[in-house]
Amino acid sequence: MVDPVAALCNYNVLEVIFSYLELDDLSHCSQVCKSWYHFLNDENSDVWRWHCLNKLPKESLKSDLLASVSTYKTKLRAYFHAWSPNDCSRNVYIKPNGFTLHRNPVAQSTDAARGKIGFRHGRHTWEVIWEGPLGTVAVIGISTKEAALQCHGYVALLGSDDQSWGWNLVENHLLHNGDMQGSYPLLNNAPKYQVGERIRVILDCEDNTLSFEKNYEFLGVAFRGLPDKKLYPTVSAVYGNTEVSMVYLGTPLDG
């Protein structure tokens, strides 16, 4: 007689069954046995392809926005980490591609947005792409859930309190608790950000540090001594109709 459990190790069978399940259930399935783990660990399998094509907006799949995440599963993961439409300024909306925020042309307002998922453990990296003009202030960084997302005037909102940390790309300044924490990167005449460049933010919750990379060059640790709190990818913007994309990449590669 055929071992019936073999049915549940047959990839053709698993592929269909897993396609019926949602992501939480797939998470549990990956911990059931080694063969299920290996099957779900294939990030380009038809299960992930199905969920990816089914859940991600078509626009994001057609563009090169997700060029840094090469597999279906990591594209899907990036979507679940994208800007939160429920945790952003009222002057910001998330575009249909799911990954890009648009700041409406509202006068005398600074507006911010947070990612859907915050981090308290592990090491994480995400890509930020400023696709419109920076304006007078453009800050990339992290914040807790308590940091404000909107305020009056054109200011460096991210980094203005003790709940947020940011790098103002316009001035190449680090900002926290309303203070300028120094120039960044630590180079004489460091080049300014060019619209469309991909900046990687690296959050290490084990070392409690925040760092940045630009064009695959590590720029050094920006902040140390981050608190043991859940920290969210965040940006704050002032320029009308500017757009900022964020793509979560997962654990940073070592080396």
Partner 1 sequence: MVTPTIKLESSEGVIFPTEVRVAMVSETIKTMLDHFAVQNDENAIVPLHSVSTFTLGKILAWANHHKDDDDQSTEGEELKPRRPYAISPWDAIFLMVNSTTLLEIILAAKQLQIKGLLELTYNVVANMIRGKTPEEIRFIFNIPEDVSPSVDGELRWKDLFLWPMDF
d(CA 105, CA 103): 6
In the complex, the smallest distance separating the C-beta of residue 54 from partner 1, rounded to whole angstroms, is: 8
In the complex, the smallest distance separating the C-beta of residue 118 from partner 1, rounded to whole angstroms, is: 8
In the complex, the smallest distance separating the C-beta of residue 8 from partner 1, rounded to whole angstroms, is: 6
Site for partner 1 in 103-162 (CB under 8 A): 116-118, 121-122
Nearer to partner 1, 20 or 216 (CB): 20
The size of the interface with partner 1 (CB under 8 A), counted in residues, is 44
Closest CA to 249 of 134, 122, 86: 122
Examine residue 94 and tell whether it contacts partner 1 (CB under 8 A): no
In sequence order, the 6+-apart residues with CB closer than 8 A to the CB of 77 are: 69, 248, 250
**Dihedral sign (CA 206, 212, 216, 217):** negative
Residue 40 has a CB neighbour count (10 Å cut-off) of 20
Examine residue 7 and tell whether it contacts partner 1 (CB under 8 A): yes
Query: What three-state secondary structure class fits 204?
Result: strand
Cβ atoms of 219 and 182 closer than 8 Å:
no
Site for partner 1 in 37-76 (CB under 8 A): 37, 40-41, 50, 53
Strand locations in the chain (E):
83-88, 92-94, 100-103, 109-115, 123-130, 138-143, 150-152, 164-168, 173-176, 179-183, 198-204, 209-214, 217-223, 232-237, 243-250
Nearer to partner 1, 12 or 188 (CB): 12
Examine residue 207 and tell whether it contacts partner 1 (CB under 8 A): no
Nearer to partner 1, 125 or 242 (CB): 125
- Binding residue for partner 1 (CB under 8 A) from 39, 45, 75, 77? 77
Nearer to partner 1, 6 or 67 (CB): 6
Main-chain phi, psi angles of 114, to 5 degrees: -115, 155
Which residues are near partner 1 by CB under 8 A? 1-2, 4-8, 10, 12-13, 16-17, 19-34, 37, 40-41, 50, 53, 77, 80-81, 116-118, 121-122, 248, 250-251
